[in-house]
A = this chain, B = another copy of it.
Amino acid sequence: MTTAKRDTYTPETLLTVAVRVFNERGYDGTSMEHLSKAAGISKSSIYHHVAGKEELLRRAVSRALEGLFGILDEPGATRGRAIERVEYVTRRTVEVLIAELPYVTLLLRVRGNTKAERWAMERRREFDQRVAELLKAAVADGDLRSDVDIRLATRLLFGMVNSLVEWYRPQPGGDAEGEQLADTVVQLAFEGMRSDR
């Protein structure tokens, strides 16, 4: 029942274009004029599909947040030893970041100037807290080093993971590329960069 051909815009297809431009120029640096040029339709035609610029932002960050929160409900994140759940969530976060790259990129860059942005920031904080609790449990189990503040370690770990959006660009033919990258990130984060082990 899904229409294959696509010669006119829907909110979904328009979102794809908008998110790309938002990430190139920044949300505030993007005007409806920029969007209309990129989409190949007039400014006013955009308003036929969405209520305005902010709705596009809201849809985009919602999608990113759905992906991230979805991880926390997966079996790997709810069962087993805490350290294993931590590594699982880290690995899956990398994979979701890559799978939903433009949406998560936008999420990680919102500044809180509009209602939609502030809502997104709040939900993101929730996610961070959920992850921080996991790490805390792993420390209690004695599987993560206890000589550094765990809140700090969580932030640094996810600072490393989130930095992916600043430079990672998916390869056209790279299929299982995400899993490989996730492996490397987990290795570096938990085993360190030194070779003398």
Interface residues of A (CB under 8 A from B): 24-26, 28-29, 83, 109, 111, 113, 142-149, 152-153, 155-160, 162-164, 166-167, 181, 184-185, 187-197
Which B residues are CB-close (under 8 A) to A158? 163
Q: Are B145 and A195 in contact (CB under 8 A)?
A: yes
Choose from B26, B143, B188 the contact partner of A153 (Cβ within 8 Å): B188
Q: How far is the CA of A149 from the CA of B189 in the complex (A)?
A: 14
* Known pairs A148-B188, A184-B152; A193 contacts B29 (CB<8 A): no
- Prevailing SS type, chain A contact patch: helix
Choose from B153, B157, B160, B197 the contact partner of A197 (Cβ within 8 Å): B197
Which 9 A-B pairs rank lowest in CB-CB distance, beginning with the nearest? A159-B163, A192-B192, A28-B28, A160-B160, A28-B29, A26-B111, A191-B192, A145-B195, A190-B194
Shortest beta-carbon distance from A197 to chain B in Å = 7
Q: Are A148 and B187 in contact (CB under 8 A)?
A: yes
Q: Are B163 and A194 in contact (CB under 8 A)?
A: no
Q: Are A111 and B153 in contact (CB under 8 A)?
A: no
Q: Are B190 and A157 in contact (CB under 8 A)?
A: no
Q: Are A196 and B143 in contact (CB under 8 A)?
A: yes
Shortest beta-carbon distance from A9 to chain B in Å = 25
Which B residues are CB-close (under 8 A) to A160? 156-157, 159-160, 163
Closest to A164 in B: B159
Q: How far is the CA of A155 from the CA of B162 in the complex (A)?
A: 11
Identify which of A109, A146, A156, A181 gathers the most chain B CB atoms within 10 Å of its CB: A156
Q: Are B163 and A156 in contact (CB under 8 A)?
A: yes
Q: Are A190 and B187 in contact (CB under 8 A)?
A: no
Q: Are B195 and A143 in contact (CB under 8 A)?
A: yes
Q: Are B144 and A195 in contact (CB under 8 A)?
A: yes
Choose from B142, B164, B193 the contact partner of A189 (Cβ within 8 Å): B193
Identify which of A26, A109, A149 gathers the most chain B CB atoms within 10 Å of its CB: A26
